[in-house]
Structure 1
Amino acid sequence: MSLQEWLSIATKGLAAEGRERVRREIEAHYEAAVEEASEQGLDTEVAQPTALRALGDCGKAQRRFNRVFLTEVEEAACKEMLRGNGFFQTEVGSWMMWSCLMIPAYTFPYNQMFLGQRWILPGLCGIALFVFWHVFSQSLSRFLNIPMALFAHAALSIPLTIALILCLLHGLQWASLISDRQAMVAQSDSVFLVPFILSPSVWVTFRMYRKVRGHAGGTATT
């Protein structure tokens, strides 16, 4: 396998900017390895395969690059979402909507309505929230250029901060009930439900936040 064949597999599906960045960095790393091997007395025919093997498996490299850099599908989805005011409306509006939906999710009289199956409505809300943020993160997690990335970096702090504050408030509520065992038992569902529902969205948002924040400084060889 040649270097270009390795790169074509490793950068498959990446957006143009990410693909070019990976190619530049890998080619520079490869050339430096070949030069170092040549200085040690190895022939070029031996140095080049050695340097290529040092790059590792191209399939694993592709998965690693897809976690760090934009893909073509995500780039197209992000451009569509960021057109006009769609990003801000989706970002803020969705969190306001889910915050409102979670109120009946943990105060509803489940015992009377679902014959003791208290997990049904919270479970449905949790599944819906997880699916929403999974789809949302796939379209929003990476951006084409640095200005877009910086804009996304600032905007993503909104839902992440809201999620952390809500979890903190419910943690404080749980702490206040520790001294009153009867009240803790009565409120245990509402105390633990919201962090449970929020945890998938917090994880996905934080992961997306790290990727967008590191977009300008990420490298292909680290």
Structure 2
Amino acid sequence: MQTTIHQFNRVAEEYDFVNTLLNDYSFFMNNLPVQTGRALDVGCGSGILVNELSAHFGEVIGIDISDEMLEIATVKRQPSNTTYLNMDAENLVLVGKFDFIVSRTTFHHLNDIPKVIRQLQTLLNDGGKLVILDNVSERETPPAYVYVAGAVIEFIPHIRKFGFRNAVRIFNHQTSRSWLEHVTSDKYKSEQQYHELYRRLLPDCRLQKMGWAMGIVWEKQ
């Protein structure tokens, strides 16, 4: 976990820039619960999703292990109904329950997913939803050239969409030594592993494959 903290601290500013441009949070917005009192973002990074949720919930809490990410979040994205906490997802210390708990590209960093799921289940109100989006790959740890090739393929489309200067900045981040060191240390689950694990932990959950990601939606009855 300390390695992950160090890696994210090193890339925080560029990670925030790239994710502000590229990330699509529609999966979370399309699965909002009926009750909109409190929301929790596990692994909130620089607060992009927290900021989106703040327009829909009375209170939103974002937790992350990277001080650099949280500093960006507090400076750029802290409406009055949001709070950011430096907290490990595997050791949650939170007061009260939530109507919506979300997590984006965080669960593959966890050592004990069943433990975290159990904690999150206890933190959900009845009728609340747990929505997870995380990387899926048939290869547990893709090599660096896969990410570099992806950055090359996306470069021209990014120029058309974001302009040359922004496309270069995205490319430089995606092919930087710091970022490649991070992604080549990640370990992803296959689609079959997702179904085996989450259908056991979250009965009646819905799983949705979306390219590089697997989405999981579970409602507490």
Q: Same fold (TM over 0.5)?
A: no
Structure number having the greater helix percentage: 1
With normalisation by structure 2, the TM-score equals 0.24
Structure number having the greater strand percentage: 2
Which structure is higher in RCO with an 8 Å CA cutoff and minimum separation 6?
A: 1
